Copies of this chain bind each other. A is one copy, B any other.
Amino acid sequence: MNLKELSQNLGLSQTTVSRALNGYPEVSMATRRRVEEAARTFNYSPSTRAKGLATGKALAIGHVIPLSSKHEMVNPVFGDFIAGAGETYSRNGYEMILSIVPDEDERRVYQGLKSRRAVDGVIVHGPVMDDPRIPLLHKLGLPFAVHGRASVNETPYAWLDMNNRNAFKRATDFLFDLGHQRIGLVNGLEFMDFAHRRRNGYTVSLVEHGVGLDPALMRSGEMTEDFGYVSARQMLTLDDAPTAIICSSMISALGVRRAIEEKGLVMGKDVSVISHDDVLSYLKNGGETPIFTATRSSVREAGRQLAQMLLDAIENPARPPQTKLLEAELVVGYSTGPAPRKD
C-alpha cells in the first residue's frame, strides 16, 4: 500500500492524505480522522526512502563502532548504550544504522555516510585522546555527538560524558577516609579518554593526601576478567601490597576479587575494592545492597540522553553544541571496609 493507492481508496488527493497524516492544519478534523483510520486498517506507513528523498532528511542516525584491529574487542558497554539510544530514536521516528568498522577504515565510513546521505548525524563511540574523528566530522559538516570526550580538541562539539575524573577522585577519597594508604588502580587502556580521566582523578586524590604515585600499583589494559585477576595478583604479591584497589570495570573487578580470594584474603576486609559500574544489564551488581562498592552511572541512560541531544542539534543547527556531564553516584556495598591495622 502506498500513498497513491491509499488516496485513491479514500477518494482524496495525495496532498490531502499526506497533510492529514503529517498533522498539517489545512485539513478538516473529519477527513483527518477518516485518513488516519484508513491508514491504520490498510497498515500504511510512508516509505522512509521516499520521504527522505522528498524532505532531504535521512531520518536516520549512524553509530560507527570502532573495532580496533589490534585488540578486536567490541566494547561490551555498547549493547546497553545502543539500547538506550534506540529508545529515543524510535520515539522520534528515526532509524539507527550501525557500522562496525576496523579503525583504519573509519574515515572512509564517515565520508561514505555523508556522501550517500544515509544519515542526518552520527554518534561517536569510544573517543580516544585528541580523537581525529572530531576534526574530520567537523570538516565533513556531518552533525555528531560524542559519548565521552576527547581531551585536547579545541573546537567545541556536542558531548555527553560521565564525570570520570570526579568519580575516581571520590572513590579514592572514600578509601582514604577508610584509612587506606596503599591504593591500587586497575584501569582501562589509557589512550582511551575515559581511562585517562579516571587515572587523573585517582592521581589527584593521592597527591592531595600526600601519597606518592607508585607505578607498581597502576595498571592499564583491556578490561577483561583475566586482566583484573592478573593485575590484582601482581599487586598483592608485593611486599608492600595495597589494601585497596580501584577498578575501571565490573568485569575486571570480578578478576580482582578472584585474585584476592585466591590469596586467602577476604574482599571488604583485607582488601577493599571499588569498581565502576556501568549498570550493564547482564552484569548486575547484586541486589538491594550491591556486592561491590561502586561508582555508578547507567550507560543506557547515557544513550537515551545523548541521542536526544543529537536529535536536538540536528533540529536546531544554529544553536551552539550542547554538552552534559553526568555525575556518578557512589554506592557502598560489601567490598569496602576500614583499612586493616598493620600489626
A interface vs B, CB < 8 Å? 1, 43-50, 52-53, 58, 60, 63, 65, 67, 71-76, 78-80, 82-83, 86-87, 90, 95-101, 111-112, 115-118, 222-226, 251, 254, 257-258, 261-262, 280-284, 286, 291
Q: How many whole Å from A120's CB to the nearest CB in chain B?
A: 12
Given A44-B115, A53-B49, A281-B74: A97 in contact with B96 (beta carbons within 8 A): yes
Identity of the chain B residue whose Cβ is nearest the Cβ of A87 in the assembled complex:
B100
Q: Please name 11 further chain A to chain B contacts, defined as beta carbons within 8 Å, in addition to the given A65-B83, A258-B258, sorted by A numbering.
A: A48-B116, A49-B53, A49-B58, A49-B118, A74-B79, A74-B282, A75-B79, A76-B76, A79-B79, A86-B99, A224-B282
| A282 and B117 contacting across the interface, CB-CB below 8 Å | no
Identity of the chain B residue whose Cβ is nearest the Cβ of A86 in the assembled complex:
B100
Report the separation of the CA atoms of residues A52 and B87 in the bound assembly, to the nearest whole angstrom.
Answer: 26
* Residues in B whose Cβ lies below 8 Å from that of A222: 282
Q: How many whole Å from A222's CB to the nearest CB in chain B?
A: 8
12 A–B pairs (Cβ distance < 8 Å), ordered by A: A43-B115, A45-B115, A45-B116, A49-B58, A50-B53, A60-B97, A76-B79, A76-B282, A87-B100, A225-B283, A226-B291, A254-B258
Report the separation of the CA atoms of residues A44 and B111 in the bound assembly, to the nearest whole angstrom.
Answer: 10
Identity of the chain B residue whose Cβ is nearest the Cβ of A50 in the assembled complex:
B53
Report the separation of the CA atoms of residues A73 and B60 in the bound assembly, to the nearest whole angstrom.
Answer: 25
* Residues in B whose Cβ lies below 8 Å from that of A101: 86, 90
Q: Which 7 A-B pairs have the closest CB atoms?
A: A86-B100, A73-B281, A74-B79, A76-B282, A49-B52, A83-B100, A45-B115
Report the separation of the CA atoms of residues A111 and B95 in the bound assembly, to the nearest whole angstrom.
Answer: 14
Report the separation of the CA atoms of residues A129 and B286 in the bound assembly, to the nearest whole angstrom.
Answer: 29
Report the separation of the CA atoms of residues A198 and B314 in the bound assembly, to the nearest whole angstrom.
Answer: 48
Identity of the chain B residue whose Cβ is nearest the Cβ of A118 in the assembled complex:
B48
Given A76-B79, A115-B1, A117-B48: A98 in contact with B99 (beta carbons within 8 A): no
Given A67-B83, A86-B99, A262-B261: A282 in contact with B73 (beta carbons within 8 A): yes
* Residues in B whose Cβ lies below 8 Å from that of A1: 115
Q: How many whole Å from A78's CB to the nearest CB in chain B?
A: 6
* Residues in B whose Cβ lies below 8 Å from that of A74: 79-80, 82-83, 280-282
Q: How many whole Å from A271's CB to the nearest CB in chain B?
A: 15
* Residues in B whose Cβ lies below 8 Å from that of A82: 74, 98, 100
Report the separation of the CA atoms of residues A53 and B82 in the bound assembly, to the nearest whole angstrom.
Answer: 28
* Residues in B whose Cβ lies below 8 Å from that of A73: 281-282
Report the separation of the CA atoms of residues A80 and B63 in the bound assembly, to the nearest whole angstrom.
Answer: 15
Report the separation of the CA atoms of residues A154 and B184 in the bound assembly, to the nearest whole angstrom.
Answer: 57
* Residues in B whose Cβ lies below 8 Å from that of A98: 63, 82, 86, 96-98
